[in-house]
Structure 1
């Protein structure tokens, strides 16, 4: 296997920014005009990768790592203004509070659907909708029915539904599908719109030379269409509750570990039918993204199994998983002409030689986090001098604090140690860490948007192990970008050979004219 025709075919750089963090959308960023404008900004600077968090429909806590489906797109990422442009909605009033805004977004979809249903069957959009439903039937049938029944049951988890629906008695499902036919069709329409808007953004990104890099959590939420429709693949009680749950032992983020609560897979059943569930999941991800990160890759080698009644993750144990056989099956199914799978391994946490061997067996790039680099000695694998080219370096991830805040929290002697290694004592944070990432041998350097904006406390995306209302809600504003600071980033991209085939351009003044961005009093870098 080689990395030809892959995200690592040359030195690249990109930005980690979730869709919800974009400006412009009501309540949260979405797939509207600001998504296209962000692609323009990336392309203008020579950045060729846009990494997002999972884009699936979330539970009320907003975590994109605990979703209602591994295949569906979140309706909150749909741009409601598109309905107005299509003439399917008279106007969109987002309201003034987060609750009002979310309700308005969902109502806009419902109102637009009513107009859509009144269009002639021969209308191109109606034809495209029927084709979409047919093409995605293999997952959409169960998802749309799941969402319709869940709505009818007051959004209760499926384990609390009447037993006939909880346990999917065929007669009960047939009756529910007839009774809720209009709602089922509305949820199908919702997915049709999401995928239509997503494809507009993806096609535009391709035209601009920007690849989309997604994120696939290894585990799924217990209250999801996937577990409800495919209980045989999960380790559950007869009532649908998990026997054991997922998490990780004590680590950098938590002294008691992390108890995620996801049900574990019944790997024996999955392997017996050729990992068909996983192949379907990968197929839907590869249709959305050019490259996909496997969150918690180490779970393919061994996973931390916690008794469901345990309060913390400390009581767990490691259990072997058939990751090698799964990846061999995926390689035969998706890889062509000797190229590697379009996957990147999130190999953070408790990593053993067996996990390294599994990653390397399939030529999967691993991750290096610079904020983790300065504990211990020169053998620390996150120090740039230890990087193999086949890896992705980050200043920090969505689970880290911003680099400015992280550095401010270090003791003076720890700060001196960081600068002694980096060799940039006169350069402030986060610039010193960003330049170290860009200068490294890692083929891909990813910078969180917060670090490009030099943001400090109060701007992190998530604090692991917490249910804070601040999690997953961070957004940036176009006013935080200045033409001159954008030009500086573009210079770094070229300086460290990460602009690829992008033509050399004069920067400062031309950049200021090209980007419709207002300077701010404090430059972002």
Structure 2
């Protein structure tokens, strides 16, 4: 799938911005230029869906919709549907170079986007009509969000019963009542995807492919579960029977209780996996390559009783990944998927991954357990793999190293054949670049040699996650030249 190349992991949200969060605007285009100058061929991003409580991109309100926060306001000014004066009057301009303030975004961003909607009036009428015809999910999502706001943003299971269980007799009346609200949410998705695809076209034109990230599960409070409850293992009252997570591991002694409804694989099989096929077909329109989160869940998944306090008392349940991926082969000759095969991986998961020749992930931070055959040591990497210093769930490379004890640090230095830990980040990155892995993805923080303060997410914690932002002045020509030299020396071109 990959021709010995390299890329950088950076969430869109982490880009520099004068509006509190990274967008599809100027900074994104400049980052593409930085990637190009640095000899990179891939930009890996996190999921782009609209975030809910907790701000996690892995628990969006929709698996199809885009996060309205990423709509660039400067582009709307250029398109004459907003003015700088309106942004100021709506308190939408603020700058914090260190972190994202999601609470501020929640209270300010939709005010200014609603103003843009009114200003645009019918400017994009034909384009939006075409967008709706090409994206049948958008009306369902817009109706969901309209009803959610009508019900004080409560989870859909707490809505008025007639609205949580809409049918053909009531849906027409609701659509008439909420027409303006529905049109607003559709308008936002039109803007989001217009700006996103323009950015993607620019990136592809610069030789940069985008790696997207697809969460395996849908959030319980989402348009997807609300409208397609049969896809999930739920009872007749639409209450989940089992929810997702993983058992205790290195990240958490209580496991990770994600809380998402798990899939009803028997129902999926009976519908020829149409729901999943539609989802992946859509995702591969958005991205050049897809990282499929929690790949093990396509072989078997950890199901926990709904209402459990943690993920300790779950059980492994079968999934039908073989049949699903076989069905996908009918749509794609080459399904460009990276399998996130981390955690406790069984032989059957490896067999599933290898059967479809999906590259797995190799994480340097997992390599030092005293076993010279550890598969995460760079000298043990195979060609068909993607090498990472760490993922969005890991500490930064420098933060990880600083937290090792003296014995563990010595093991790392011995492996790197060096006695000093000066420039440790680049020594480690070089070991990945020189490995057999056909693709190397490095989080931007590791090139910048930033510590734990730049960590993206700490699993099983609430607050302080997903907020890190890169400072514009750190993306220098000197840094891109340094990275490009490493690319050339390792022949990742």
SS of residue matched to 1:220? coil
> How many angstroms does 1:61 deviate by?
1.4
> How many angstroms does 1:98 deviate by?
5.1
Q: Which residue of 2 aligns with 1:520?
A: none
In the superposition, the TM-score normalised over structure 1's length comes to 0.90
- What does 1:144-159 align with in structure 2 at a 5 Å threshold? 144-159=142-157
> How many angstroms does 1:330 deviate by?
0.8
Gaps of 5+ in 1: 120-124, 500-525
SS of residue matched to 2:243? strand
Counterpart selection for 2:438 from 424, 443, 450: 443
SS of residue matched to 1:418? helix
Q: Which residue of 1 aligns with 2:185?
A: 187
Contact 2:117 2:187 in 1 (8 A): yes
Using CA pairs under 8 Å that are at least 6 residues apart, name the structure with larger relative contact order, 1 or 2. Answer: 2
> How many angstroms does 1:437 deviate by?
1.1
- What does 1:123-142 align with in structure 2 at a 5 Å threshold? 125-137=124-136, 139-142=137-140
Q: Which residue of 2 aligns with 1:111?
A: 115
Q: Which residue of 2 aligns with 1:389?
A: 383
> How many angstroms does 1:162 deviate by?
1.4
Task: Provide runs of 4+ in structure 1 moved above 6 Å.
Answer: none
- What does 1:122-521 align with in structure 2 at a 5 Å threshold? 125-137=124-136, 139-333=137-331, 335-336=332-333, 340-426=334-420, 427-468=422-463, 470-499=464-493
- What does 1:81-100 align with in structure 2 at a 5 Å threshold? 81-91=74-84, 92-93=87-88, 94-96=92-94, 99-100=103-104
Aligned residues: 481
In the superposition, the TM-score normalised over structure 2's length comes to 0.95
The Cα offsets for residues 460-498 of structure 1, whole Å up to 9 and x where unpaired, read as 000000012x10000001222343233111100111011
Distance in 2 between residues matched to 1:482 and 1:192, nearest whole Å: 34
Distance in 1 between residues matched to 2:121 and 2:306, nearest whole Å: 45
SS of residue matched to 1:259? strand
The Cα offsets for residues 199-256 of structure 1, whole Å up to 9 and x where unpaired, read as 1110000110000000001111000000011011111133322111100011110111
> How many angstroms does 1:114 deviate by?
1.2
Contact 1:211 1:290 in 2 (8 A): yes
SS of residue matched to 2:470? coil
Q: Which residue of 1 aligns with 2:28?
A: 35
The Cα offsets for residues 305-342 of structure 1, whole Å up to 9 and x where unpaired, read as 11112211110010111110011001112x23xxx311
Distance in 1 between residues matched to 2:108 and 2:73, nearest whole Å: 9
Distance in 2 between residues matched to 1:168 and 1:28, nearest whole Å: 35
Contact 1:59 1:67 in 2 (8 A): yes
Aligned-pair RMSD on alpha carbons? 1.3
Gaps of 5+ in 2: 95-100
